Amino acid sequence: MITLAGCAVELFDTGEGDPLLLLHSGQGFVPDQPYVGMLSRRRRVVAPSHPGFGKSELPDWLDTCDDIAHLYLELMDRRGLAKVDLVGCSIGGWIAAEMASKAPERFRKLVLVAPVGVKTGPADKLDIPDIFAMPQEKVSQLLFHDPAKAQVDLSKLSDEQLTIIARNREALALLAWEPWMHNPKLKHRLQRVACPVLFLRGESDGLVSADYVARYAALMPDARIETVARAGHAVQVEQPEAFAASVLGFLDA
Say if residue 139's pLDDT is above 80: yes
Q: What is the mean pLDDT of the chain?
A: 93
Q: State which H helix or E strand residue 227 sits in.
A: strand 223-228
pTM of the predicted structure, to 2 decimals: 0.94
Say if residue 137's pLDDT is above 90: no
Give counts: helices (H), strands (E), the chain: 8, 9
Say if residue 242's pLDDT is above 90: yes
| pLDDT grade for 146, boundaries at 50, 70 and 90 | confident
- Residue 174, Cβ density class (10 Å: 0-12 exposed, 13-18 middle, ≥19 buried): middle
- Residue 104, Cβ density class (10 Å: 0-12 exposed, 13-18 middle, ≥19 buried): middle
| pLDDT grade for 140, boundaries at 50, 70 and 90 | confident
Per-residue pLDDT, averaged over 123-143, amounts to 89
Q: pLDDT tens digits for 13-33? A: 999 899 999 999 988 898 989
Residue 224 CB: number of other CB atoms within 10 A? Answer: 11
Q: How far is the CA of 4 from the CAs of 30, 66, 74, 195, in angstroms?
A: 21, 15, 7, 26
Per-residue pLDDT, averaged over 115-130, amounts to 93
Residue 106's identity, in one-letter code, is R
Which stretch of 8-12, 123-127, 145-149 has the lowest confidence by average pLDDT? 145-149
Q: How many domains does the chain have?
A: 1
Say if residue 149's pLDDT is above 80: no
**CATH classification at residue 170:** 3.40.50.1820
CA dihedral 84, 85, 89, 92 (to 10 degrees): 20
Q: pLDDT tens digits for 154-185? A: 778 888 888 888 898 898 999 998 899 999 99
Residue 169 backbone zone (phi > 0: left; psi -120 to 50: alpha; other: beta): alpha
CB 20 within 8 A of CB 62: no
Domain residue limits at 196: 2-252
At 127 the three-state DSSP class reads: coil
